[in-house]
Amino acid sequence: KAGVTQTPRYLIKTRGQQVTLSCSPISGHRSVSWYQQTPGQGLQFLFEYFSETQRNKGNFPGRFSGRQFSNSRSEMNVSTLELGDSALYLCASSLNVASGHGYTFGSGTRLTVV
């Protein structure tokens, strides 16, 4: 069965631009979560969605937003990009948000802001 698909894999943007990243979960998985990974801060939680509803949000500014569609696919958007937004953005899907289910991660989108 297909894994978690993230597109694009690599992206270069200029400061001030905005970017949209996409995540397609494993078929049947209804929970999608997003993470940012940087050398300085490590992995940090961004958001979690379940059945099109944002369940939880990490400590990131309002420039970071996301949504989930009825087919469970999710997008995240970063507006007014800053150099510090350069990172690997990972999404993970899970059957549901209950603690009894693990995560399957995508390969990530590597965003470089210049």
Instruction: Pick from 23, 26, 32, 33 the residue near other proteins by CB under 8 A.
Output: 33
Does residue 43 touch other proteins according to CB under 8 A?
yes
Does residue 12 touch other proteins according to CB under 8 A?
no
Are the C-beta atoms of 26 and 2 separated by less than 8 Å?
A: yes
Does residue 23 touch other proteins according to CB under 8 A?
no
Q: Which residues pair with 93 in a beta bridge?
A: 32, 104
The sign one gets for the Cα dihedral 76, 33, 89, 60 is positive
Q: Between 11 and 45, whose beta carbon lies closer to other proteins?
A: 45
Residue that is written with structure tokens 């990131």 in the block: 60
Instruction: Pick from 22, 65, 79, 107 the residue near other proteins by CB under 8 A.
Output: 107
